[in-house]
Structure 1
Amino acid sequence: MSWSVVLRERWKILSKISATLTAVRSMGGGPRTFPGGLNKWQFKRMHEKMAREKERRLLEQEKEVYQARLRSQIRVKVAGRSPAQGDEESSSAAAYGPMTASDHVKALADRFTKEGAEDLWNEDDGPLRDDPVPRNPAPSRTVPPLDLRKMMSDRCKVADGTAWRSRRPVETPGRRRQYSSDAGRKCRPKLGVKSKWYPDSDSDSDLDSDFGLEGDPVKPFQTGGTRNPKFPRVSSVNADLKEEEVAIRAEKKKKIMLSGAALMNHDRKKERRAPKPKAVEKEDSLDEEVECIRDELEKRKRDLAATVGQEVEEEALLTPRRFEEYSISPLTVKALTCAGYVQLTVVQDAALQTCLDGNDVLVKARTGTGKSIAFLLPAIEAVLKDATVGVNNRISPILALILCPTRELASQVAAEANVLLKYHNGIGVLSLIGGTRFKVDQQRLESDPCQIIVATPGRLLDHIENKSGFSLRLLGLKILVLDEADHLLDLGFRKDIEKIVDCLPRKRQSLLFSATIPKEVRRISQVVLKREHTFIDTVGLSSQETPPKVSQSYIIAPHTLHFEVVHHLLKEHIMQEANYKVIVFCTTAMVTQLTFALLHNLKMNAREMHSRKPQLYRTRISDEFRESKRLILVTSDVSSRGMNYPDVTLVLQMGVPCDREQYIHRLGRTGREGKNGRGIMLLAPWEEYFLDEIRELPIGKLPMPVLNPDAGEKVAESMGKVDMSIKEAAYHAWLGYYNSISQTGRDKTTLVELANRFSSSMGLQCPPALFRRTALKMGLKDIPGIRVRNS
């Protein structure tokens, strides 16, 4: 008995130990996991999937709102009210009541009715399926106001046995017009109406054709047996007509003409036949006609140019309103006056009050019209209204965040903010951009009071993910500003912007400013803006997006002569402008370095700026070009957006821009603040496709300049002095840039041929070789003309 008790106790002890070991093993070490037992990559993919689902839901919501807006517009039109009245009564259930079939068909027909077209809908029109019409309907006492057919029938008598030849059924009193082919065939012919095929009177035929009673001949209705047909044969009627006219009518196809409300094949584009040209008897008359057309076109161009010039003269950049009229701090107004800002520009007058009221705003305005002041003033006022400003806190909260796509633009915006805060104590501005030491930024964040942060997305994410308490300071944010919003919401920055927005409080004000806002940007802007935001467009549909006083032109030249043409244009502009200031935009950073080296060897006063240069050098060159005259800046697209370089006289673009918006932003570096400027784009013959994207802009073609042979030899000699490594890097960068453009990157063989022409323009006997990895990445490994390095 004692042994059994001992065994039982030992068994209890062993079971407790095994349970303890099992619990320890289940909670023990191993790879680090996230909630749900996911590893790091699974957790990351799950969040990416959630982000995609979020974007999909936003798109679906936008689609539902758009469809609901269309349905409400259709109901308002059917109810016979104006859109304003429809919005006021939208709350009532009657405004969204069910529609009848007739109202629905009429609403659909109105959507496809062209402006100025005659509406054939009347009160007698009904649905497709109507009540059967009696065979002998009683004549109606009400007579239509203008019954042309009755007037004609009263005047003209028709012989017995005539047939109705019109393709369109005639309305009889008391019978509704039908909107289907079946209902149209049920209509019985109305006798007593003249038709085109009756040879009784030529004048009556003309009247028929004028009032739309023409029609193709149709086969008569025939009955079997020896009974007389109800309608006689057409041959008896057409016997008296001319043979040519009968032959022409016989070739026509039989068509059933329906009303426009039937909407048959409404989604097909109608084929419009070009009017037949009149016969020209002599060649002299044709030449005279061509000359007349040319003269008329030239006259229209001159009139249009005069009208545009008059509008440009009348259009003013400044408005009569002053900053004192708004609810702005007196110290800020004093700083504005000292900086020379007294009157508001058009964009400032349109957007400032809405921004000061605390609303979310999306603003579209031309380059050089004062957008920076328009969003800096609301940001400063939001900081001043906060109760924590002036309190001696160890770490001041971040109240305003301004995001810029480039380092140069962020530095420029921070400098402008410091100018406006000249008389404000206790408010600081800090710029967080790449190219600087991360620890220095952290020290400045901890020591200096900085309620306003101007940053680029990449460096801001570094501070947020560093877990140094920076994300906690963002929880008190009052206002978020996106300068050059179209670029920040593009594919290159969109993921970073979404991560930044997720770390910000939802109860905030958001301002988006840009010179170009495509439809895709307006759709994606819902990620940052509230649904009830305000859209302000100071450009408008009728105005052009480029500066009005900038003359735009382009030159088509072979790619082998581009460097000679650039040298010729620069020398010609230097001779014309005493205080010249030129910006030369290149496609890539390495092509920028090559062009600068060429101009430097040609003894021209030039500077270079691109992404491969350190930040201190870029800042120094930017400040030097801003303050100097008689200087040439060779740059990539890092200087294309937002940079305020005053008194730029010429913008020269070498090669095709990546898109239409980039061309507008490049051109916007000149003609700022309503001044005159000039823009020239140099294209190769195979780059003319880009002209279709900017066809609505006032750009003209310049003839190919006459090049000096001596100058060409000098350019070739200077190109020979350029280092070979710069040429090879420029070739690789040129090939990668045009490979990424769909118009040129589709045909790899043609792309390689064009790249080899570019290498010959640099004075190379054979194109440089590509690394094997680079060739595979570009899809150019087995393309003829590509040299691949073995190592």
Structure 2
Amino acid sequence: MCVGRCGYVYASAAVRPALRQQTRCARTSTAHRRSDTTRHTSGESSSASSAAPAMRFDELQLSEGTMKGITQILGYETMSDVQSKAITKVLHTSNDVLVQSKTGTGKTLCYLIPVIEKMVRSPPVAVGALILAPTRELVLQIVKEASQLLTHHPAIDILPLTGGTSRRQDTVALKRRRPQIVVATPGRLLDHLSSTFNFHSLFTGLSVMVLDEADRLLELGSIDDLRTIMTYMPKDKQSLLFSATITDDVREIATRACRANYMLIDCIPHDDIPTVDRVQQRYVTLPARCLTQVLYHCLMNEMRTNLYSYKILVFFPTARCTAFFAHFYREQLRIAVYEMHRRRDQHTRSVTSDRFKSDPTGIMFSSDLSARGMDYPNVTLVIQVCAPPSREQYIHRIGRTARVHSDGRGLLLLTENEAQGGMEAIKDLPIHKIDDKSLFYQNDLLVNAVSSWMANTQLLFAASAAYASLLTYFKVHARRLKLSDSDIIQTAGDMLLSAGLVDTPAISRRLAQTLQLEGNPMIKVQDNLDELDALEYLHETADHNRQKQHEERRYVEELKLTAMGRKHDDRDHTFTQTYG
């Protein structure tokens, strides 16, 4: 085995089989250790639980089906501290409850177990439980965990309602599956409540409503949606709110959603060390033209340090920027990179998320889609490219590492133009500057990578899209980052030039006018880009219309099949009367 240039480890033909066997053994032993820890307790490490005897799930006197789901499917036997505090109180009270708990502590089970037990003891006619979550990814994560718990409860079904599918598909699924539990994003739920005929009648028998990550719901601007949703829900339901922080907005929503005698359960220990203090934080100030090589060396250093256990999460400012750099690192540097952002379809995002979770090693390039609500285990390093949009978002991002009493490291890559404003909001945090000249080393691999893709039309198109998105991002945050228009244009352009782009792309006149950059001598405007955008929009519209016609035909066929298959189903008759 020898170390080649750029830090790559090469193995000769004679030692490759042994190296592969060593890798398999190391990963297998790591997987076994993780499996043992997971089975020992849900949400916390074995070392934490060994300090005091943990409460067992079988002490809760749950139904047989729920216990089988916990022990046989999820593989849990004992509860985390948060679960032992919250589940016991929520399970045996009809009062509304506001729970303060951090993410990554197993809080999802804190409401799923009481909700399922309530459905078992008092089976609802229609929807008996509604769970609201801030993002589609978190909704699907909740549904996946709930489905595992419901393995031995065949009479209880759960259905997600999120964007990305038509309302008509949701309606068909509701009538076919008759779910007792609905998990939804506020936007999609409100869309149905305001547009789908008689949709609100589904919730006339609602017995429990859960708001997961209530503070995140409010951060995403859902406060008005939540206020409207509350008006559709019955007053005599039980409300369960879970939040990592208790802000004034969270208290307002609690006042609206909960009855006057609601309980506050604080599951954060008084001597608990905040995640931001457990993460070793560093930042590097660099010319934007050096971004690609600095990021490359940061990744390689981590991969060499943790050869069999590295797990790196890299945050980029925008989705299009994420897409370009993910494509560049895969195509030009031959580094396997997972890609997560909102411009990928829901199925692809779900598959990517599951693979990154299960992979013992990996690198994910992500937009802020992964900043909250996604529990990626064993992340060793979080890298943030450019100044984050806010102090809160910086903290949420580095919170993806140092989960559940483990340690982690965070690295912030700041371009020179944004360094002063970018550090202003986080200067009181334990973050230290590093000056490592080796990060700026330009080796042969990097030189070849950045100089050999000008004929790649996909990368060229992705670079142009990333440039436009970066201009928009920096313009929005210009005042906070103390950026002039010239700084914005230079930083956005240099970030892409660092990857080998020969010349700064042109943008459409419409975008230049929107960003108030038209007339700046540093910006290039191309009139026919507006026509290309319009042509692309027309193609997308035509594809959408064809897909809509196909969905309408399939909808009619499914309605016919539904009517034939349930003609003699009394329960379905009751459900249809309720739904309308």
TM-score, with structure 1 as normaliser = 0.56
Letter in 2 for 1:400: A
State the Cα distance separating 1:533 from its structure 2 match.
Answer: 3.1
2:451, 2:500 within 8 Å by CA — same for their partners in 1? no
Matches within 5 A, 1:290-305: none
Partner of 2:441: 708
Matches within 5 A, 1:696-775: 697-706=429-438, 707-710=440-443, 711-717=445-451, 720=454, 723-741=459-477, 742-744=479-481, 747-775=484-512
1:555, 1:703 within 8 Å by CA — same for their partners in 2? yes
- Provide the secondary structure at the position in 1 that maps to 2:99: strand
Partner of 2:316: 586
| Residues 1:643 and 2:377 aligned together | no
| Gap change, CA 1:718 and 1:643, over 3 Å in 2 | farther
1:482, 1:511 within 8 Å by CA — same for their partners in 2? yes
- Provide the secondary structure at the position in 1 that maps to 2:451: helix
Match of 2:151 among 404, 419, 422: 422
| Gap change, CA 1:617 and 1:775, over 3 Å in 2 | same
Partner of 2:565: none
Matches within 5 A, 1:334-373: 334-338=68-72, 339-356=74-91, 357-373=93-109
| Residues 1:684 and 2:415 aligned together | yes
| Gap change, CA 1:318 and 1:607, over 3 Å in 2 | farther
CA distance in 1, matches of 2:51, 2:287: 39
1:335, 1:420 within 8 Å by CA — same for their partners in 2? yes
2:277, 2:430 within 8 Å by CA — same for their partners in 1? no
Letter in 1 for 2:450: A
Partner of 1:780: 517
State the Cα distance separating 1:512 from its structure 2 match.
Answer: 2.2
CA distance in 2, matches of 1:659, 1:644: 21
State the Cα distance separating 1:773 from its structure 2 match.
Answer: 2.6
Q: Which has the higher strand share?
A: 2
CA distance in 1, matches of 2:101, 2:283: 25
Matches within 5 A, 1:348-747: 348-356=83-91, 357-386=93-122, 388-389=123-124, 396-490=125-219, 492-539=221-268, 543-546=272-275, 550-577=279-306, 578-600=308-330, 601-685=332-416, 686-695=418-427, 697-706=429-438, 707-710=440-443, 711-717=445-451, 720=454, 723-741=459-477, 742-744=479-481, 747=484
| Gap change, CA 1:516 and 1:746, over 3 Å in 2 | farther
Identity %: 36
State the Cα distance separating 1:597 from its structure 2 match.
Answer: 1.3
1:598, 1:718 within 8 Å by CA — same for their partners in 2? no
Q: Structure 2: state its 5+ residue gaps.
A: 1-46, 529-580
Deviations 1:9-60 (A, max 9, x none): xxxxxxxxxxxxxxxxxxxxxxxxxxxxxxxxxxxxxxxxxxxxxxxxxxxx
| Residues 1:329 and 2:63 aligned together | yes
Letter in 2 for 1:709: Q
CA distance in 2, matches of 1:518, 1:713: 50
| Gap change, CA 1:315 and 1:343, over 3 Å in 2 | closer
State the Cα distance separating 1:412 from its structure 2 match.
Answer: 0.8
Partner of 2:9: none
1:547, 1:672 within 8 Å by CA — same for their partners in 2? no
CA distance in 2, matches of 1:719, 1:551: 37
1:565, 1:705 within 8 Å by CA — same for their partners in 2? no
Q: Which has the higher helix share?
A: 2
State the Cα distance separating 1:571 from its structure 2 match.
Answer: 1.0
Matches within 5 A, 1:129-140: none
CA distance in 2, matches of 1:684, 1:536: 43
State the Cα distance separating 1:716 from its structure 2 match.
Answer: 2.2
Say what the alpha-carbon RMSD is for the aligned residues: 2.8
Matches within 5 A, 1:87-486: 320-338=54-72, 339-356=74-91, 357-386=93-122, 388-389=123-124, 396-486=125-215
Deviations 1:530-569 (A, max 9, x none): 4443333434676443177543322222222121111101
| Gap change, CA 1:503 and 1:746, over 3 Å in 2 | farther
Higher relative contact order (CA 8 A, sep 6+): 2
| Gap change, CA 1:698 and 1:465, over 3 Å in 2 | same
State the Cα distance separating 1:411 from its structure 2 match.
Answer: 0.8
| Gap change, CA 1:593 and 1:342, over 3 Å in 2 | same
State the Cα distance separating 1:587 from its structure 2 match.
Answer: 1.2
| Gap change, CA 1:492 and 1:633, over 3 Å in 2 | same
CA distance in 2, matches of 1:576, 1:667: 19
| Gap change, CA 1:678 and 1:540, over 3 Å in 2 | same
Letter in 2 for 1:648: V
1:428, 1:450 within 8 Å by CA — same for their partners in 2? yes
CA distance in 1, matches of 2:436, 2:326: 23
State the Cα distance separating 1:595 from its structure 2 match.
Answer: 1.1
CA distance in 2, matches of 1:316, 1:638: 35
TM-score, with structure 2 as normaliser = 0.74
User: How many corresponding residue pairs?
Assistant: 473
State the Cα distance separating 1:603 from its structure 2 match.
Answer: 0.6
State the Cα distance separating 1:622 from its structure 2 match.
Answer: 1.7
- Provide the secondary structure at the position in 1 that maps to 2:389: coil
2:293, 2:442 within 8 Å by CA — same for their partners in 1? no
Deviations 1:705-763 (A, max 9, x none): 41332154244236655622111111111111122224137743443343343343344
Higher-Rg member (1/2) = 1
Letter in 1 for 2:390: D
2:421, 2:481 within 8 Å by CA — same for their partners in 1? no
State the Cα distance separating 1:775 from its structure 2 match.
Answer: 2.5
1:368, 1:668 within 8 Å by CA — same for their partners in 2? no
CA distance in 2, matches of 1:595, 1:516: 34
